[in-house]
Amino acid sequence: MTLHDVIKRYLLSEETFIEINEGEISANEFLTYDEIKIGLRVIIIGKNGRKRLVDLGLLQIIAKCGDLEFVKDYLNMSKSLRDIYNKYKVYTELEYVAVKEECQKGLDEDILNVLSRLKFYILHREKSIQK
C-alpha cells in the first residue's frame, strides 16, 4: 500500500480516521505527494501492538520543510512517544510544527494562532521539567 492508497481509503471511508499497519507508508512519499490537508488522520498499528494517531497533513508539512528524519522516527512504531520526546523535545507532530517556525510558512492565520499558543505551552513545559 502507498500513501496515495491510504489517502484514497480514508476519503472513501467517510470516517474520522482509519487504521493502517506500520510500514504501509514511508516518509519519502510525503515529499512527492500533492498537498495533504491537515486533519487527515490515521491510526498506525505497529508490529509490536503500539498504536499512534497521526495527522498525515502535518507530517507532510514537516517533511517538506526539511525534517524527514522526524517523519521517519514518528512513523517508526518501535519508537515510543517518550523516545520521540527525548530526541526532539516534542511528543507529537503538531507540537513539532508549533516549535519549528520554518514549518509554518504559508499556513492559515487561525492555525498559526493555535500553534503560537501551543508553542508557549511547550516552552513552559520544558522550563518546568528543567527545574
Report the phi/psi class of residue 92: left, alpha or beta, with left for phi > 0 and alpha for psi in -120 to 50: beta
Cα–Cα distance between 77 and 80 in angstroms, integer? 7
Q: What pLDDT, on the 0 to 100 scale, is given for residue 126?
A: 79
Report the phi/psi class of residue 73: left, alpha or beta, with left for phi > 0 and alpha for psi in -120 to 50: alpha
Domain map (residue ranges) of the chain: 3-130
Q: What's the whole-model pTM score? A: 0.90
Residue 44 in grid coordinates: 498506525
* Separation in Å, CA 24 to CA 7, 45, 76, 98, 124: 11, 10, 11, 27, 36
Backbone phi, psi, residue 68, to 5°? -65, -25
**Crossing angle between the packed helical segments 56-64 and 68-75, to the nearest 10 degrees:** 150
Q: What is the overall mean pLDDT for the chain?
A: 93
At 38-92, the pLDDT tens digits run 999 999 999 999 999 999 999 999 999 999 999 999 999 999 999 999 999 999 9
Cα–Cα distance between 106 and 35 in angstroms, integer? 12
Residue 40 in grid coordinates: 487527515
Whether the predicted pLDDT of 127 surpasses 80: no
Q: What pLDDT, on the 0 to 100 scale, is given for residue 131?
A: 61
Burial of 119 (0-12, 13-18, 19+ CB in 10 A): middle
At 29-40, the pLDDT tens digits run 999 998 999 999
